[in-house]
Structure 1
Amino acid sequence: MSGPQCCSNPPTLSSSSGGGHVEELGGLKSYVSGSLDSKHAILLVSDIFGYEAPKLRKLADKVAACGFYVVVPDFFLGDPFNPEHSVKPIHDWLKDHGADRGFEDAKLVLEAIKSKGISCIGAAGFCWGAKVVVELAKHDYIKAAVLLHPSFVTVEDIQAVKVPISVLGAEIDKMSPPELLNKFDSALNEKPEVDAFVKIFPGVAHGWTVRYEDGDEHAVKSAEEACNDALDWFGKYLK
């Protein structure tokens, strides 16, 4: 189960952050950025801190600026984990917010996106969200997947993936340590029918792509590099 590292450096949530807007999609409030004219959508599935995290929304806006319609749903229904104020420890919170429920909700959001005329959809998941995305990648719900510092993803999950997948991990990560990421890489190498890319970013910790410190130059540059890697992956398979 997740430990302190998964809960470290929590963001200050803000419902007003980002240049997009909030609307309901598939029964969930969702932060939306970008134009429907793009005809290519990306679903971003947050970590345990939810869809109001400012750096996640900033990332969504950056992805949208590259020509994608981006949707970030509130999979926690207004109850993201807050290590400072939560009345429940993380293990109990996770029982109420399992990735299995997130997977079912994600399918409804994807249907709502498709109803807008977009059928070419990719998904990226951060920490908790990576488990949701890997479940989507086992089916034909999405065209491509990116996992960023994943939590709870197993080798068996990776072995079942059916769409192109990129795994971007951290060197300092108890949730998905480099040893596990190397096992993901080996499993994907045994699936030549599925294009894959596994990369371990040196000197950064779990959660760095959306929870980096602004003053940490290395983490900021690594987060930008990971974003560019994800954009390259989606550009290859969605456009």
Structure 2
Amino acid sequence: MSDCCLKGFKWGGTPCGKADKLAGRDCYVTGTNADVAILVLHDLYGWTFSNIRLLANHYAEEVNATVYVPDLFGGEVLSVEIINDQSRWGELNLPDFLKRNSKEIRTREIFECAQDLRTKHKKTGAIGFCFGGWGAFRLGAKDRSLVDCISVAHPTNLEKDEILNINVPVQIMAPEFDPMFTEELKVYSNQTIPTLGVPYDYQFFPGIEHAFAVRGNPKNPEEQKGLERAKNCAVFWFRQWLH
């Protein structure tokens, strides 16, 4: 995990969804489509962060879907006040936080959320940002049938085996500068996924840094264009595979 996973900007706007439960976990829900669902796997800022909820609102309206943002951290929420003050990052104790929220611990919960959606909706997709990226890939793996397509933006801790095992239409949104989704992983994805027989959409964002799609600075013209393009790319992808 890198410092880039903590940097970011809070957007304006007020989320218009509601608090609910998914697979017994706290969840933000927006949209009313009984047939189509999107599972949003959040980053380190957690399920309560307004940006992730605003994106969920956009997906619900523009894709015509019911969108779910479950809590993936067992009720724990990192302090946005501390996150936004780089001088205080030492107070977060990220190593212990990441141990409490390891892949081994959270994979089962992510699967349970997707399984719950399968009982409620005819078509389901997943999108993962940073921390949530590996979870989206695991949902779309060969030995699973938990989602119909996935999208990821600047995934963190994604492994080559997870890329190799993808078995559903997959979209990757990759910024040029990203110490987590490295050049090696970019090359591996673009060499490997086209051999797997699944639809693949690779979106490259030149001059843009990690976390832009969910925490980009709207006052920076290039980041504003990037975060808008990322939202539009995901909307088009889900429209194509969920409708």
TM-score by length of 2: 0.89
Q: How does 1:141-180 map to 2 (within 5 A)?
A: 141-180=146-185
Q: Could you tell me how far apart the structure 1 residues matched to 2:180 and 2:75 are? A: 25
**Partner in structure 2 of residue 75 of structure 1:** 72
Q: Does 1:56 align with 2:60?
A: no
CA distance in 2, matches of 1:101, 1:232: 32
Aligned counterpart, 1:91: 95
Give percent identity, aligned residues only. Answer: 25
| Cα shift at 1:9 | 2.5
Q: Distance in 1 between matches of 2:219 and 2:176?
A: 20
Which amino acid in structure 2 is aligned with residue 180 of structure 1? L
Q: For the Cα contact (< 8 Å) 1:11–1:211, is it kept in 2? A: yes
How far, CA to CA, are the matches of 2:58 and 2:38 in structure 1? 12
Q: Does 1:187 align with 2:192?
A: yes
Deviation at 1:87, TM superposition (A): 4.6
Question: 1: distance between equivalents of 2:134 and 2:2?
Answer: 16
| Equivalent in the alignment of 2:29 | 32
Aligned pairs, how many? 233
* The structure with more helix, counted as a fraction of residues: 2
Any gaps of 5 or more consecutive residues in structure 1?
Answer: none
Residues 92 and 22 from structure 1, CA distance in 2 versus in 1: closer, same or farther, beyond 3 angstroms?
Answer: same
1:11 Cα deviation after fit? 4.6
- Residues 23 and 141 from structure 1, CA distance in 2 versus in 1: closer, same or farther, beyond 3 angstroms? same
In structure 2, the partner of 1:199 is 203
Q: Secondary structure at the match of 1:121?
A: strand
For 1:150 and 1:222, how far apart are their aligned partners in 2? 16
Task: Give the RMSD, CA atoms, in angstroms.
Answer: 2.0
1:121 alignment partner in structure 2: 124
Aligned: 1:22 with 2:25 = no
Q: SS where residue 36 of structure 1 aligns?
A: coil
Superposed counterparts of 1:224-235, under 5 Å: 224-235=228-239
Which of structures 1 and 2 has the larger relative contact order (alpha carbons within 8 angstroms, sep 6+)? 2
Q: Could you tell me which residue of structure 2 aligns to residue 219 of structure 1?
A: 223
Q: Which one-letter code corresponds to 2:41 in the other structure?
A: V
Distance in 2, Cα, partners of 1:129 & 1:44: 8
